[in-house]
Amino acid sequence: MVATCLHLVGFISSFVGWIGVIVATATNEWVVTCGYTITTCRKMDELGSKGLWADCVMATGLYHCKPLVDILILPGYVQACRALMIAATVLGLPAVFLLLTVLPCIRMGHEPGAAKYRRSQLGGILLILLALCGIVATIWFPVSAHRETTIVSFGYSLYTGWIGSALCLFGGSVIVCCSGDAQSFGENRFYYASGSSSPTHAKSAHV
């Protein structure tokens, strides 16, 4: 029962984290930048934001973005962070699918617990890889961007990527380390035969 609860906690936290990684990948407010000194930018109320896909200018009544479409002139760190975040997003698809198939409420015939255990472990490993890609990208990007321009603050996209990656790392680690062993995985779920009021009719179900 404890292993089942931990598995559910790991799945929910990982799913929420994966959504956070997708949001971070799709949005452009990774860092808030300033072309002048910070004091001058605050007085002029003119700041910029830099992301994976566009550079934006934020001013009073104006929000204009310039898409970063020319791959040949893009800095290497932008291309690398793009690749890492896309990889993290794609890795989440099979990971979530594998973990959905081993949830306690899902039954796939009389499948042995060992098969579900292997899928659970594979899903957890994919989540950890997802988290590592996200962590590397969300640390590498602001460090490299700071060498090009003055960073005023981190944007919400970067915070979303950090939180999402941390949740995926936590969830994947819980699933890999706390799911029990292959022999007992999935064997601690019980249901009662319909119409039976006696506990002696309880049957175990391998799901």
Domain limits of the chain? Answer: 1-29+72-149+156-183
What is the maximum alpha-carbon separation in the chain? 78
- HSE at residue 133, side-chain half, CA atoms within 13 A, is 25
pLDDT at 200: 43
Q: Does domain 1-29+72-149+156-183 have CATH number 1.20.140.150?
A: yes
pLDDT of residue 70: 81
Q: Which residues have C-beta within 8 Å of that of residue 51, sequence separation ≥ 6?
A: 27, 28, 29, 30, 155, 157
Cβ atoms 145, 50 nearer than 8 A: yes
Q: What angle do CA 103, 107, 111 make, to 5 degrees?
A: 105
Instruction: Please identify which residue in the block is written with the tokens 């550079």.
Output: 55
Per-residue pLDDT of the chain (207 residues; tens, 9 = 90+): 677 788 888 899 999 999 999 999 999 889 988 767 666 776 676 778 888 999 888 776 677 888 888 888 888 899 999 999 999 999 999 999 988 888 777 666 666 667 788 888 999 999 999 999 999 999 999 998 888 777 778 889 999 999 999 999 999 999 988 766 655 555 544 343 344 444 444 444 444
